[in-house]
Amino acid sequence: MSFPSRPVLLLLAWLTLTGCTGTVSVPDSAADQRPVFLLAHGRHTSLVLTRADGSLVRYAYGDWRWYADGDTGALRAVPTLFVATRGALGRQTLSGPASRAALAARLHLDPARIHRLTAPATRIDRLVAELDATFAAAGEQRRYNPAFGLEFVPDPQGYSLFANSNHRVMDWLHALGIEARGNPMFGHWQIRRGNAG
């Protein structure tokens, strides 16, 4: 009888112990805050931010070949289990209003998978400027994929199982000053409102 190798056992133990869930604690709304929407697409997560002019912009992150090139074959995900692949930053401008119902209709997403959060306007503006700078620096490397409704540019961060869209969204939540803990590796999120967390 053959037993799994030690690294495989360690990986399985780590995945079991971490629970693979990201927990987001949402404080009560304060002054000068704007809506932020966490979109849980299943195993993938994206984030919608409200700009200063009231328009909405969605950001996503993933593997370049999957999202930008449209190579969505069954074996495409396998390399990301072992090595970092080229990352892709996606962006989509959306029409308002900034509500779960409007986003659900626009993105054909179950409203239960859209989590409304809030963040300080200054932090949102800073994150939008940072992400948009990546698009500005990409020049002619932009690629639109109509299947996802997103324009993609190469991202300096490599994509892997341990640095995927869910981890990147958690980084963005931290940049917005939103408390997020745990390991959302597989896109499982728990939202705690008010003083519940």
Note whether residue 5 is domain-resident: no
Structural domain boundaries enclosing 39 = 21-196
Span 60-99, pLDDT tens digits: 999 999 999 999 887 877 877 778 999 999 999 998 899 9
Q: 156, 175 in Cβ contact below 8 A?
A: no
> pTM here?
0.82
Mean pLDDT of 14-32: 55
Note whether residue 11 is domain-resident: no
Domain count, the chain: 1
Query: 164 or 59, which is more confident?
Result: 59
Note whether residue 49 is domain-resident: yes
User: Which burial class, exposed, middle or buried, applies to 181 when counting CB atoms under 10 A from its CB (0-12, 13-18, 19+)?
Assistant: middle
pLDDT, mean over the chain: 85
Note whether residue 14 is domain-resident: no
